[in-house]
């Protein structure tokens, strides 16, 4: 394995649900430190692609290589342990737990998942400090003691990212993190992703084109399960067919 080995390489990934081909021979790569955005209309197969990459569903054909290693047959938890991190389109946080407790659960999961936060005071203190660091990194330093139920929508999204980061992933899979956000929340999440970019390889599914254009190194356009175009922001902006297919222009 060399530096040129992409963090993630998907080769001809195919998934059908009955007669519907949700991802149709999709190939794409995410390089070290790259933010690769995946755009496309509703039903294009973006979420189906993400769930195949993290291992929640199995492709019918094709391969998924993580740091050059074929993980196509590995179950999702094993992929997570290798550093394949994801956040969810639908929130999976524990609503009655505080922000810091949710991050602590994630840290404990990385350390074997005993969820026994209270047995070893020294380890507990160290993990609490770590959890505070992750909250700080996503801009939630002041919200650690609030329960998820008390957080604003945008803050929950930030917390989901802290929970994902606490697993120390090498690749972050983000499925529409800006969904349901107002302009201000989107702008602040864009800033956060800007600060994470380069340190992590990121595959970002997002409809907010301002965010995509601000963040992406490369953009892949998925339409009816097929990648119709992959290129830089400038190339996507200057490509009339892509603009027509995706941006509705």
Q: How far apart are CA 102 and CA 92, in angstroms?
A: 10
Closest distance to ligand ADP from the beta carbon of 175 (Å): 7
- Decide if residue 180 touches ligand ADP (CB under 6 A): no
Q: How far apart are CA 46 and CA 57, in angstroms?
A: 13
The residue (of 17 and 115) whose beta carbon lies closer to ligand ADP is: 17
The residue (of 22 and 140) whose beta carbon lies closer to ligand ADP is: 22
* Binding positions for ligand ADP, 37-96, rule CB under 6 A: 40, 42-48
Report the DSSP pairing between strands 61-66 and 8-17: antiparallel
* Binding positions for ligand ADP, 9-48, rule CB under 6 A: 17, 20, 22, 40, 42-48
The residue (of 22 and 193) whose beta carbon lies closer to Mg ion is: 22
Closest distance to Mg ion from the beta carbon of 45 (Å): 8
The residue (of 21 and 187) whose beta carbon lies closer to ligand ADP is: 21
Among candidates 102, 76, 110, 90, which has minimal Cα distance to 47?
Answer: 90
Burial of 178 (0-12, 13-18, 19+ CB in 10 A): buried
Q: Which of ligand ADP, Mg ion, none sits in contact with 147, Cβ below 5 to 8 A by type?
A: none
Q: How far apart are CA 37 and CA 51, in angstroms?
A: 16
Torsion over CA: 122, 127, 128, 133 (sign): positive
- Of all residues in the shown chain, the one whose CB is closest to Mg ion is 47
Q: Which of ligand ADP, Mg ion, none sits in contact with 44, Cβ below 5 to 8 A by type?
A: ligand ADP
Number of residues that bind ligand ADP (CB under 6 A): 11
The residue (of 101 and 175) whose beta carbon lies closer to ligand ADP is: 175
Number of residues that bind Mg ion (CB under 5 A): 2
Q: Which of ligand ADP, Mg ion, none sits in contact with 2, Cβ below 5 to 8 A by type?
A: none
List, in order, residues 6 or more apart from 55 with CB less than 8 Å away: 71, 74, 75, 76, 78, 79, 84
Query: Two tokens at 87?
Result: 């956040």
Choice from 16, 47, 124, 147 touching Mg ion (CB under 5 A): 47
Give the CA-trace dihedral at 149, 130, 163, 180, to 10 degrees: 60
The residue (of 16 and 32) whose beta carbon lies closer to Mg ion is: 16
For residue 64, give the 3-state DSSP assignment: strand
Positions that interact with ligand ADP (CB under 6 A):
17, 20, 22, 40, 42-48
Residues that bind Mg ion (CB under 5 A): 46-47
């Amino acid at each position: 394995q060399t530096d040129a080995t992409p963090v993630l390489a998907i080769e001809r990934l195919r998934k059908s649900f009955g007669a519907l081909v949700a991802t149709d021979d999709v190939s794409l790569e995410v390089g070290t430190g790259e933010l690769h955005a995946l755009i496309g209309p509703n039903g294009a197969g973006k979420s189906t692609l993400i769930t195949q990459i993290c291992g929640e569903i199995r492709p019918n054909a094709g391969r998924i290589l993580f740091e050059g290693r074929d993980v196509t047959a590995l179950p999702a938890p094993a992929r997570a342990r290798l550093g394949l991190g994801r956040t969810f389109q639908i929130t999976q946080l524990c609503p009655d737990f505080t922000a810091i407790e949710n991050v602590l659960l994630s840290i404990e999961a990385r350390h074997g998942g005993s969820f026994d936060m209270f047995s070893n005071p020294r380890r507990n203190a160290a993990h609490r400090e770590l959890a505070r660091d992750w909250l700080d990194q996503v801009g939630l330093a002041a919200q650690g003691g609030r329960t998820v139920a008390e957080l604003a929508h945008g803050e929950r999204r930030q917390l989901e990212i802290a929970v994902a980061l606490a697993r120390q992933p090498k690749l972050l899979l983000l499925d529409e993190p800006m969904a349901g956000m107002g302009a201000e929340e989107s702008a602040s999440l864009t800033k956060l992703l800007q600060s994470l970019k380069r340190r992590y390889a990121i595959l970002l599914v997002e409809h907010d084109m301002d965010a995509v254009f601000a963040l992406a190194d490369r953009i892949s356009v998925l339409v009816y399960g097929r990648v119709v175009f992959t290129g830089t922001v400038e190339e996507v902006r200057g490509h009339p067919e892509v603009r027509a297919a995706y941006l509705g222009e």
